[in-house]
């Protein structure tokens, strides 16, 4: 639809222009139902150039083999499924030994606000996270000194199986916090 104004599409500006179209008038019928097809056949033109009916096309389409035709939806029996452990967090001894006053001071220094009941205490060093050794080696290689505020408080909460809404600035480590879980 021409509005007269340029339209943006991503980084590009689309400008609509008027286009002149020339029409040619032909008196010879071109494949209408009344006059047959261009090969002189009778019976009119169907919906495609191969002169096959829609019923014939539908039958051919149904006989075609496609990947996944033989797949069946599994029947899940929940009584036979293994229970999924949602509490994967094992607090480090340093985290367990911190007093509530130390935790409140850490929250204030990092501007962390936590709402909820029985929320786990934050970790203050990567060593307190109990990540596997290969993860810890990669963290050391990257040169991270300590977890950011969202990581320090987010990892214990998420690994405990709790719901978490983390709000932090761009570049604060939210993606790393989520990808490590």
Could you report the per-residue pLDDT of 78-136, keeping only the tens digit for each?
888 888 877 888 999 999 999 999 999 999 999 999 999 999 999 999 999 988 999 99
* Same-domain pairing of 148 and 98: yes
* Same-domain pairing of 98 and 175: yes
Alpha-carbon distance values, 174 to 5, 33, 84, 155, 171 (Å): 40, 64, 25, 10, 8
Residue 175 binned pLDDT confidence (cut-offs 50, 70, 90)? confident
- For 149, the domain range is 93-179
* Same-domain pairing of 158 and 108: yes
Could you report the per-residue pLDDT of 108-123, keeping only the tens digit for each?
999 999 999 999 999 9
């Amino acid at each position: 639809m021409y509005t007269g104004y340029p339209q943006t599409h991503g980084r590009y500006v689309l400008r609509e222009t008027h286009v002149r179209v020339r029409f040619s008038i032909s008196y010879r019928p071109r494949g209408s139902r009344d006059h047959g097809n261009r090969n002189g056949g009778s019976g009119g033109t169907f919906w495609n150039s191969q002169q096959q009916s829609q019923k014939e096309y539908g039958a051919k389409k149904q006989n075609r083999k496609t990947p996944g035709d033989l797949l069946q939806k599994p029947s899940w029996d929940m009584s036979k499924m293994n229970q999924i452990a949602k509490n994967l967090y094992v607090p480090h001894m340093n985290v367990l030994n911190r007093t509530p006053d130390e935790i409140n001071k850490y929250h204030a220094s990092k501007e962390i606000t936590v709402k909820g009941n029985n929320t786990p205490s934050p970790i203050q060093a990567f060593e307190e996270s109990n990540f596997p050794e290969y993860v810890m080696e990669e963290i050391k290689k990257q040169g991270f000194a300590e977890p950011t505020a969202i990581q320090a408080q987010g990892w214990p909460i998420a690994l405990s199986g709790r719901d978490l809404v983390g709000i932090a600035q761009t570049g604060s480590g939210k993606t790393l916090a989520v990808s490590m879980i």
